[in-house]
A and B are shown apart, each in its own frame.
Chain A
């Protein structure tokens, strides 16, 4: 972890107990060993696999660190249980990306109260019983996407559909709220929404259904980006054609920038950015829409 050797870490006030082990780790070789536990909400989304991998890689370079991983497979109870099991093992640092906020709050608090530093990644927990939160400003993501729609995609207004995340998860709600804020005052109306549970297969299926149900929709706002992504699928073709024929100004397709935009933001505010990727200017971090051809390639007209 980048935070481990005391470069930048944002300890929440009052969490000084957690700072102890991390600073000790830097006293040089021969120091005590540390156990870090990482509780992941699920490994069904690629960026979460990446999250685990990056933690593993970062820790590998520090011989005193052992990292234990657990995957809750989208199950709140299972994640509570896994964290409880970690707590019986006298760990030195807990990193958690909660499946949902409220259910995980009490167990995170329990860890924090035991004096274990807790880093909460991506999705939040309720209250402030954790050391540090690293994640995206989901409201801002939504808001910027909304503005992009308002200013560039459909300045004259129009009908769009929205593909949401897992109902009940914080990022889904925050992004949707932000998006509504962003498009406020424009002529854009959301004519249909669907929950895709952050999952790729579900997302594609729901996007398909949405487009069938609302043939008049001019664009899709999707809260996650692996969704409308199978190249050559009939839906994509149809959507593209519709994009073109709709006569809306500007291509209703996203710019390359949106590839960085994922649930829980792999664009964290802190310095713990996954290695090997260039940061992207925040401004360009906007929506993903149907008809996007590939993640990295900008959409060309025609």
Chain B
């Protein structure tokens, strides 16, 4: 490996290195309790992962969308819609667990596919399409729930959700690993493998790199984009289900602003907003980085407003680093 290649790798996985740095800083600044660092406590670390699991799931889908040069602003509202939907189906409509979950996943998939068709087939900018989708999903969520949160109670009686659904709020492996964190890890791992080995991923990157060239190279651009938006919607619905399960509650107003947090994780992860460049590993590290930052700032009792500022600075810093990235094509023949 030459020096340049080391540098390229470093930039490619900037958020991973960023995460290492922030992690180290968190250890240094962690308050201690009876001599043990609070930050490093297994309880705390798993809390961090659980806390980012919803945003992380969204960010994985968002990474794919951004890789094809799009954006999906609707995911936060879809989280709200899915959480209300699953709560209503399980309680008011007394559906069984699996049908309810699959119905909501299908709803998210369908919502994403429609947005994909609107933006890829009819060539409306995805920003606009999903901005509309964001409003529509929010409106649907409020209509479905009658504007009020849907509380989920468990049991066998009518209007009660199957007890299995409450597992989403639990921890597995002797009560250590939170289930949502586990779901996030599985989703991220699948996406990583998908982006590494599949022909589909080659098409995704090609479209983001140069859509016209991709089309002329025989890439089914519309189909790939529609599918990517579909996957993003599906993952948003999954995040919404996890959300409802964790809180025992379907909130029509929940998830607002999540889309921006997901985009932030993607950007910190080194994915270019113009598409064609980025990794899921980077996004995962980006999401973790924000989670660790929030955690250590709260552990040190730092004002939540300062937390916002710190995350803002990190985003700018991450985007700035990408500008310095070597190996960019030079202008001129």
Q: A residues near B, CB below 8 A?
A: 43, 66, 68-71, 73-77, 80-82, 84-85, 88-90, 100-106, 126, 166-169, 173, 195, 197
Contact = CB atoms under 8 A, between A and B. Distances in A.
Interface stretch (B64-72, B201-209, B224-232, B293-301): B293-301
B47 A88 contact: yes
Closest 7 CB pairs between A and B?
A168-B149, A103-B247, A167-B147, A102-B151, A81-B51, A71-B304, A102-B249
Contact of B151 (A73, A74, A81, A126): A126
B299 A85 contact: yes
A65 to B, nearest CB: 13
Interface of B: 31, 33-34, 38, 41, 43-44, 47, 50-51, 54, 142, 145, 147-149, 151-152, 169, 243, 246-249, 251-254, 257, 295, 298-299, 301, 303-305
A52 B2 CA distance: 56
A103 B249 contact: yes
B248 A103 contact: yes
Contacts of A77: 51, 54, 243, 246-247, 254
Given A71-B305, A77-B54, 4 more contacts: A75-B254, A89-B33, A103-B247, A169-B149
9 contacts: A73-B304, A77-B51, A77-B243, A82-B298, A100-B149, A103-B247, A103-B248, A105-B248, A106-B248
A80 B50 CA distance: 11
Nearest to B248: A102
| Most chain A beta-carbon contacts within 10 A, residue among B142, B148, B243, B252 | B148
Contacts of A168: 145, 147-149, 251-253
Contacts of A74: 253
B44 A88 contact: yes
A173 B148 contact: yes
B129 to A, nearest CB: 26
Nearest to A100: B149
Contacts of A84: 47, 50-51
A70 B298 contact: yes
A104 to B, nearest CB: 8
Contacts of B298: 68, 70, 82, 85
